[in-house]
Amino acid sequence: MRTQVGIIGAGPAGLVLAHLLARQGIESIVVENRSREYVEARIRAGILEQETAEMLVDTGVGERLQREGIRHDGIYLQWPGTRHHLDFPALCGRSVWVYGQTEVVKDLITERLGAGLPLYFEVSDTSVRDIDSNRPSIGFTDASGAAQTIACDVIVGADGFHGVSRPAIPDALRTTWQRDYPFSWLGILADVPPSTDDLIYAWHPNGFALHSMRSQKLSRLYLQVDPDENLDDWSDDRIWSELATRFEIDGWTLNEGPVLEKLLAPMRSFVSTPMRHGQLFLAGDAAHIVPATGAKGLNLAVADVRLLAKALTAYYDNGSTALLDAYPETALRNVWRKTHFSWWMTTMMHVHGDEFDQQLQLSQLRYVATSEAAARSLAENYTGLPLDEL
Ligand code: DHB
Q: Which position has the higher pLDDT, 88 or 387?
A: 88
Whether residue 39 lies inside any domain: the answer is: yes
Q: Which residues, at least 6 apart from 82, have a Cβ–Cβ distance to it below 8 Å? A: 249, 369
Cα torsion angle, 38, 60, 310, 22, sign: positive
Whether residue 215 lies inside any domain: the answer is: no
What's the pLDDT score for residue 388?
74
Question: How remote is the CA of residue 157 from the centroid of ligand 1, in Å?
Answer: 25
What's the pLDDT score for residue 33?
98
Contact present, 164 and 8 (Cβ < 8 Å): yes
C-beta 239 within 6 A of ligand 1: no
Question: How remote is the CA of residue 346 from the centroid of ligand 1, in Å?
Answer: 12
Whether residue 253 lies inside any domain: the answer is: no
Model confidence band, residue 358 (pLDDT cutoffs 50, 70, 90)? very high
Q: Which position has the higher pLDDT, 51 or 45?
A: 51
Edge-first strand order for the sheet with 124-129 is: 124-129, 137-141, 147-151
Give the residue-averaged pLDDT of 182-198. 97
What percentage of residues in the chain have a pLDDT greater than 70? 99
What's the pLDDT score for residue 165?
98
C-beta 28 within 6 A of ligand 1: no
Contact present, 351 and 358 (Cβ < 8 Å): yes
Average pLDDT, rounded, for the chain: 97
Whether residue 318 lies inside any domain: the answer is: yes
What's the pLDDT score for residue 387?
81
From start to end of 99-174, where are the E strands? 119-120, 124-129, 137-141, 147-151, 154-157
Whether residue 106 lies inside any domain: the answer is: yes
Whether residue 389 lies inside any domain: the answer is: no
* Residue 46 lies in domain: 5-70+97-177+268-351
| pLDDT tops 90 at residue 45 | no
CA distance 152 to 31: 13
Give the residue-averaged pLDDT of 43-59. 94
What's the pLDDT score for residue 16?
98
| pLDDT tops 90 at residue 43 | no
C-beta 194 within 6 A of ligand 1: no
Whether residue 18 lies inside any domain: the answer is: yes
What's the pLDDT score for residue 44?
79
Give the residue-averaged pLDDT of 275-300. 98
What's the residue count for the chain? 390
What's the pLDDT score for residue 307?
98
How many structural domains compose the chain? Answer: 1
| pLDDT tops 70 at residue 320 | yes
CA distance 44 to 277: 29
Give the residue-averaged pLDDT of 164-185. 98
Segment 231-267, tens digit of pLDDT: 999 999 999 999 999 999 999 999 999 999 999 999 9
Segment 127-140, tens digit of pLDDT: 999 999 999 999 99
Model confidence band, residue 390 (pLDDT cutoffs 50, 70, 90)? low
C-beta 108 within 6 A of ligand 1: no
Contact present, 107 and 114 (Cβ < 8 Å): no
Protein residue closest via CA to atom 9 of ligand 1? 45
Whether residue 139 lies inside any domain: the answer is: yes
Read off the CATH number of the domain in which 324 is found. Answer: 3.50.50.60
What's the pLDDT score for residue 389?
65
What's the pLDDT score for residue 254?
98
Name the residue of 43, 44, 47, 347 whose CB sits within 8 Å of the most ligand 1 atoms, as the mutation to test its pocket. Answer: 47
Segment 336-350, tens digit of pLDDT: 999 999 999 999 999
Nearest Cα to 350, choosing from 244, 239, 201, 238?
Answer: 201
Question: How remote is the CA of residue 315 from the centroid of ligand 1, in Å?
Answer: 36
